[in-house]
Amino acid sequence: MTAIDTNVLVRYLVRDDAEQAAAARVLLERLTREHPGFVCREVVVEVVWVLERAYRFGRAEIADVLLELVATDCLVFESGDDVTRSALRYRQGGPGFSDLMILAAANRAEALPLQTFDDRLARVSGATLVGS
């Protein structure tokens, strides 16, 4: 298994640097089910942040990209089910993707409710405002 960094996925997705995009494409196309790439949770959160902030992708577009990547059999995602659930919820608006991933981790750890000061996150099932 080969770990994939944020900048490799971003170059592959946005192709804003021809040389790096080509190298990322070659690397990702060499991955197989038998020798997959590994994408950790932090990379997923960073990819979303970069696509939002630097490239102004919309939520639906980002959610579609994440769902496509998770469905790829040559990539293994740390907590792939969390990524899928968070991407689907993120598409609908409300809390940011990183907040949804935190909620998913709390759920997976059976540590609900997630206590937060974030009003938008507290509206999602499983999260509650501190002091409520």
Residue ranges of domains in the chain, CATH in brackets: 2-129 (3.40.50)
- pLDDT confidence bin for 34, thresholds 50/70/90: very high
pLDDT-above-90 percentage for the chain: 99
Residue 125: enclosing H or E segment and its boundaries? none
- pLDDT confidence bin for 32, thresholds 50/70/90: very high
pLDDT-above-70 percentage for the chain: 100
Q: Are 66 and 83 in contact (CB under 8 A)?
A: yes
Mean pLDDT (whole number) for 85-112: 97
Mean pLDDT (whole number) for 89-97: 96
